[in-house]
Structure 1
């Protein structure tokens, strides 16, 4: 498949953008493009925030609109995964029951808590980045970098189900996962020491969530990947706004 097909595939999988074209099949072969599409999502959201800020809106309001834009552009794909994983990984007594809970469209206590805390943290960190005068670059970096570890998790961990989004997407080729990781690393280089801290935190998220998922459900699912993305985004925001 061509790079164009890979980009179409990544946009169809990760966003609600009205893209057309022939997607790569299986979708995971386009994993190198996931950070690229993340950059597009971040650029649109940051652009909306920049325009709103130029109109005189206060940082908390701008941060809320940027966060809302990120959510709308993805259809809350990763937020839904975080909530479902929180419910399932912590709320079930057996592997099968955990997977059953994660598939249930209803949200439980653990899911609500995880989602609220995630949204509050992202909103606060985006507002801090805005006050520091680096909202655009920080939002862009977080959107790009947070989508690279999903492909690494798909290569590292087996699919926990015989069906579902992750299973259907396939297993990324090594070169595609490595290319996405390289792109994320190049982005973080621009932030010097803070970028190094971000990389370490993201690695910690990947290892921590990965080991938890392996021990609780035997591998990864789309919800686990969404959790990795969300926590990685928070990790990058924390690192790049720290002083």
Structure 2
């Protein structure tokens, strides 16, 4: 494939997105990393389907619902290598642990975790586990859980397009600025999937996710002057948590 390929979408973009956002062993090309952002929701769908199969099996075996919620949570974390959780922790440490943009970026790059990061991870895991538990108590848990995983990843490219890079290195910088068409296609796929699965309730979730993405973009611009891979991961986490709580 040519590196200057600017076509809106290619089937190989799906593997690229899965390789970038998960630990699933797929063979992918990365020449179109910026264009492949339209497939980020599909990477979320792949993670959710695997978690859904394991969760459904656990429910069929009559395992206690709180433990099954833990199975969904652990599965999604393992499949993504906790990369989004890492971004959330780094952002919380940096945004509220430093007084200047330079210091915040320095803290975010540090591999050590601070108090804000620990608290953010504890709250993230706790709220998600409880919300998933409550959702699993219903008879129609499968599609809502798939939708939130898909929607939470569909807004990451929007931040990549709208905000400048806060630093000249890192995963987000390496991917480049995605074209608006790819961003729109990904959002359209995610919102269409939500509407198909949940009806108008899916559009409500999409609206909530939109508001959250605006909020995180504003905060990132104010704190560090742009976006990084950590900001994208944190955005995914905040959207995911909010959507799960709204469903619960």
TM-score range, shorter-chain basis? over 0.9
The CA deviation at 1:26 is 4.1
Deviations 1:20-59 (A, max 9, x none): 14x1424121001110111010010111111111111011
CA distance in 1, matches of 2:185, 2:101: 33
Question: Which consecutive unaligned segments of at least 5 residues does structure 2 have?
Answer: 2-8
109-118 or 190-199: which moved more? Answer: 190-199
TM-score (norm 1): 0.95
Deviations 1:120-159 (A, max 9, x none): 1111111111101222112211111111100000111001
The CA deviation at 1:231 is 0.9
Aligned length: 240
Summarize the Cα distance change of 1:147–1:77 in structure 2 as closer, same or farther, 3 Å threshold: same
CA distance in 2, matches of 1:20, 1:224: 26
TM-score (norm 2): 0.93
CA distance in 1, matches of 2:94, 2:66: 32
Q: Say if 2:94 is the partner of 1:88.
A: yes
The CA deviation at 1:3 is 2.5
Q: Say if 2:45 is the partner of 1:39.
A: yes
Selected match of 1:128 from 114, 134, 142: 134
Divergent runs of 4+, >3 A: none
Indicate the residue corresponding to 1:235 in structure 2: 242
Deviations 1:172-205 (A, max 9, x none): 1111100110011112213234323312221121
CA distance in 1, matches of 2:30, 2:179: 13
Q: Say if 2:94 is the partner of 1:49.
A: no
Selected match of 1:17 from 16, 24, 41: 24
Q: Write out aligned runs for 1:1-243 (5 A).
A: 3-21=10-28, 23-189=29-195, 190-241=197-248
